[in-house]
Amino acid sequence: MTGKVIYRPAVFADVEALYHLLSAYAKEGLMLPRARSVLYENLRDFVVAEVDGEVVGAGALHFLWDKLAEVRSLAIAPEWAKKGLGREIVRRLEEDGRKFGVTMFFALTYQPGFFTACGYERAEKEMVPQKVWKECVYCPKYPDCDEIAMIKHIV
């Protein structure tokens, strides 16, 4: 854990590492699983944190509607947790979103404290109906979602 952290866009060679990183948290019930096919289809959404050639963190920014984007699939390898990687990934995702004109970011999460520290506020899921009707309806937990909605408005 002594190497320099490099943040970069994800590439095809990262998919297996992303899959295993996200699956580990999904198995613990801390996030929803992502199939490999979903990772390939959304690869351009991801930023990875890499140390000595190993992916140790990742997050994605997914556009849903006019000026609305979701921060999702945010995961940090346990040995790198609480070292600022998650916050930096979120910052980079938001910076990228702003370039496209995003004015509201949101996350559905089991870690509201983390997103509060990143400037997000709790919200009702009804604040993001585009997410609910486009993607949530296909989730195995729908309609009994237990994730917490967090939003951040950009002015």
* Structural domains for the chain: 5-153 (3.40.630.30)
Q: Which tens digits make up the pLDDT trace of 92-105?
A: 999 999 999 999 99
pTM above 0.75, yes or no: yes
Residue with tokens 């997914």, as numbered in its chain: 62
* Secondary element (H or E) of residue 124: none
For strands 5-9 and 46-51, give the pairing: antiparallel
Res. 138 pLDDT band, cuts 50 70 90: low
pLDDT at 133: 47
Reply yes or no on whether the pLDDT at 139 is more than 70. Answer: no
In the three-class reduction of DSSP (H, G, I as helix; E, B as strand; rest coil), residue 88 is classed as helix
Which of the 8 DSSP states describes residue 4?
P
What mean pLDDT is predicted for residues 128-153? 66
pLDDT at 145: 66
What mean pLDDT is predicted for residues 130-149? 61
Res. 75 pLDDT band, cuts 50 70 90: very high
Over the chain, what is the mean pLDDT? Answer: 89
> How many Å from the N-terminal Cα to the C-terminal Cα in the chain?
38
Q: Tell me how crowded residue 94 is: count the other CB atoms within 10 A of its CB.
A: 18
